[in-house]
A and B are shown apart, each in its own frame.
Chain A
Amino acid sequence: MDRMYLRRARNLVMSVMCMASAVVVIIPLVMILFYVAADGLRAINWGFFTNLPKPVGETGGGMANAIAGTFTMVTLATGLSLPVGLMAGIYLSEFGRGRLREAVRFLTDVLNGVPSIITGIFVYVLVVVAMGRYSALAGSVALGIIMIPIITRSTEEMLRMVPKSLREASLALGATEQQTVVKIVLRSASGGIVTGVMLAVARAAGETAPVLFTALNNRYWNQGLDQPIASLAVFIYTYGISPFEDWHSQAWGAALVLVVMVLFLNITARLVVRARQGR
């Protein structure tokens, strides 16, 4: 009988431990969001969104150029990675056969696991050295490479969710395979594909290390795509590790803007996916 009590007690204790770990995980999230919101809101005002950074010692100043820079690079990166990711996703889901498909899918997953800093030094060697300077273009290429595997795999998943009957109906009406993929499968999965792109954009917007090696930074408005450019992530890093109180506060402000952006994209994308799966 004693042994039974012991077993039940162990069952209870370990179950409680598992539940506790689910509670513990909430603590860092709440703490991070709380500090980002509290310290960020204190730093943010209208000028923060419209002014350029001020030199050290002068208070005020903003991050307008960093916001513009992040938007520029992410837009360009999406333009570069979307065709590749989309077509590769279509290949994996619709046309791929046998070992070649397995290999491509595997390498896509491996590419997804490559640390972003490696992507950064790769693009440095490939683009920055070749062009002779840091540039918005190089930064976009680096972010694009990071986005490709995310778009590819989510496109593949979304295309697979399109019911077979839809394809069969299209083929039965005499459409070619190509017409079926472009006009039926792709179109009915478009909502899902967009969510995958949103997740990739969210990931790219927060990347710092690869941008640091490729686009560097800029305290003024960007002068062209072949010139260095500012970004929110690099802004947070350089201001965060600086010795100035005022800059720390501004780093929190930029962190708030970035986190709101990233969470908005993530939550919207996940809600859309969940709604589609539930249907």
Chain B
Amino acid sequence: MAILEIVRIRRGKFRRPGWFAFLARCFGLLIAGLMVLIIWEVGRAAWLSIHTFGFSFFTSSRWDPVHDVFGALPFIYGTLASSLLALIIAVPLSLGIAIFLSEMAPPWLKDPVSFIVEILAAIPSVVYGLWGIFVLAPWLRDGVEDWLGNALGFLPFFQGPRSGIGLLTAGIILAIMILPTITAISREVLVAVPQSQREAMLALGGTRWETIVRVVLPYGRVGIFGAVMLGLGRAVGETMAVTMVIGNQPKISLSLFSPAYTMPSVIVNEFSEAVTQLHLSALMEIGLILFAITLLLNIVALLLVRRIGTVPVQGGRM
């Protein structure tokens, strides 16, 4: 950068920065302004509901458009339950792939495997939903849910009628959708672990797996945590695929077979049918809560991942 800096300093004495630099800066600030504007507008639209229901919006599970009484608890529960289920499935798999790609795979295999994971991120949400309704749900209903119900039916998670539409299906779809995010970033994190760390452990007589578990993963744990947070943020905000397979019933049930309802789903389903101002405002408040959760997750994750290096630019769902 040296010469550029010198040129810049020398010229700075004689002339101001050009209009082009100024324009570029304005557009940069425009993006920042856009973020603020989104928060402001959604918050303003939600104000009526916030004012009317206060904190009970979070604790009440009564969602009753006819009487204009709204509580978001079932939607918050559905969102958290389906997202956590997705994490439980996706995190081990993503870490496995990331470890495979960074520590084990021969060079010729790395690109094709990364490519497949990237393509998963490119498939539109609504196509996942279509596949979920017509392929995954019937398959889960006729095979997996019966098997789980018979083998583990004594647990509250695997009881009740098996329809193939519900938390389990939503969790699996979400897991597939967030897998690319967690895999790509964990891989970057693992690749960034200095080679000397591995060599030290191997020289001490550790096996490859011991090196990974005791050296590589602990070294990258902050970044991996950030990757998982980004994945969670994606799962929480995911809309179409979940709406199509989760059953859309505002119930709070421990059973994974039971239908549920998430925050994005209720917005999609009721937004255009909201008759009263309060109903629309309640949906906006759900949007605001969702926004707050994803904002928090993203900010924490970006700060954690930033420490490792730059976040890889992903076309698909980044």
The chain A residues found within 8 Å of chain B, CB to CB, are 7-8, 10-11, 14-15, 17-22, 24-26, 28-29, 31-32, 35-36, 39, 83-84, 87-88, 90-92, 94-96, 100-101, 103-104, 106-119, 121-122, 124-126, 145, 148-150, 152-154, 157, 164, 167-168, 171-172, 176-178, 181-182, 196, 198-200, 202-203, 205-209, 212-213, 216, 233, 236-237, 240-241, 248, 251-252, 255, 258-259, 262-263, 266-267, 269-270, 274
Contact = CB atoms under 8 A, between A and B. Distances in A.
Contact of B271 (A111, A121, A269): A121
Contacts of A172: 3
Contacts of A168: 3-4
Interface residues of B, number: 100
Nearest to B241: A208
Given A8-B207, A177-B18, A113 B294 contact: yes
Contacts of A205: 124
12 contacts: A18-B103, A114-B295, A150-B313, A164-B4, A178-B21, A181-B20, A208-B124, A212-B271, A213-B271, A240-B126, A240-B130, A270-B115
B221 interface: no
Contacts of A103: 32
Main SS class of interface, A: helix
Contact of A115 (B44, B105, B133, B290): B290
Interface of B: 1, 3-4, 7-8, 11, 17-21, 23-32, 34-35, 37-38, 41-42, 44-45, 92-94, 96-97, 99-101, 103-105, 111, 113, 115-120, 122-131, 133-135, 176, 179, 183, 207-210, 212, 230, 233-234, 236-240, 244, 264, 267-268, 271-272, 283-284, 287, 290-291, 294-295, 297-299, 302, 311, 313, 315-318
Contact of A7 (B99, B123, B207): B207
Contact of B100 (A19, A121, A153, A208): A19
Contacts of A121: 42, 45, 267, 271, 283-284, 287
A170 to B, nearest CB: 10
Main SS class of interface, B: helix
B96 A22 contact: yes
A18 B124 contact: no
A19 B93 CA distance: 10
Nearest to A104: B28
Nearest to B101: A22
Contacts of B233: 113
Contacts of A28: 120, 176
Given A21-B92, A259-B127, A262-B122, A111 B34 contact: yes
Residue with the greatest number of chain A CB neighbours at <10 A, chosen from B27, B42, B128, B234: B27
A115 B31 contact: no
B39 to A, nearest CB: 9
Contacts of B26: 87
Given A91-B24, A209-B268, 15 more contacts: A10-B207, A11-B210, A29-B120, A31-B131, A35-B134, A91-B28, A103-B32, A114-B294, A115-B237, A115-B290, A115-B294, A117-B290, A212-B268, A240-B134, A241-B133
